[in-house]
A = this chain, B = another copy of it.
Amino acid sequence: MKVSTKGRYAIRLMIDIGIQSNGYVRLKDVARRQEISIKYLEQIVGLLQKAGLLLSSRGAHGGYRLSKDPYDYNMGEILKATEGSLSPVSCLEDEVNNCLRYNICSTIKFWQGLNDVINEYLDNHTLGELMEIEKNLKEKNIDYSI
């Protein structure tokens, strides 16, 4: 029941890019600030871009930027783009429903319920909210250091 590094790093990357809100943000800078290998970030960012969550620009002064307002991203879409399906059991995935016991399964409703509460939570939290927290955290740290 763990979210992999891909999903967790994706969220930190999105927050980081969102906060540097002027123009395109270089992956190199994200990697430095977040202490994540740039090569690994490249893979993660590729997934986010394919899902339309980020826009890219190649070459000098290139980088990545958000494709929409931070409050228009919900955390579910970011995680789904990087983690794939978030359902707790594979029987709930529409594409491949290969369980022979599906019709005689007394637990499917239970798992569906779990899936629902997870998705409801993730869909009701936005990137904008997390960016706010990050901003507040940064301000606090500056205050303490004075």
Question: Using a CB–CB distance below 8 Å, which chain A residues touch chain B?
Answer: 1-3, 8, 11-12, 15, 35, 75, 83, 85-90, 101, 104, 106-107, 109-111, 113-114, 117-118, 120-122, 125, 130, 133-134, 137, 141
Contacts and interface: CB of A to CB of B under 8 A. Distances in A.
A2 B3 contact: no
A127 to B, nearest CB: 10
Contact of A125 (B89, B113, B121, B125): B113
A89 B141 contact: no
5 contacts: A2-B88, A3-B111, A11-B110, A12-B107, A113-B125
Copies of this chain, complex-wide, total 2
A110 B130 contact: yes
Contacts of A141: 104
A121 B117 CA distance: 8
B130 A88 contact: no
| In the A-B complex, the 6 residue pairs with the closest CB atoms | A106-B134, A106-B133, A117-B121, A3-B88, A1-B86, A117-B117
Scoring A75, A88, A104 by chain B CB atoms within 10 A of each residue's CB, the highest score goes to: A88
Contact of A109 (B85, B89, B122, B133): B133
Contacts of A15: 106-107
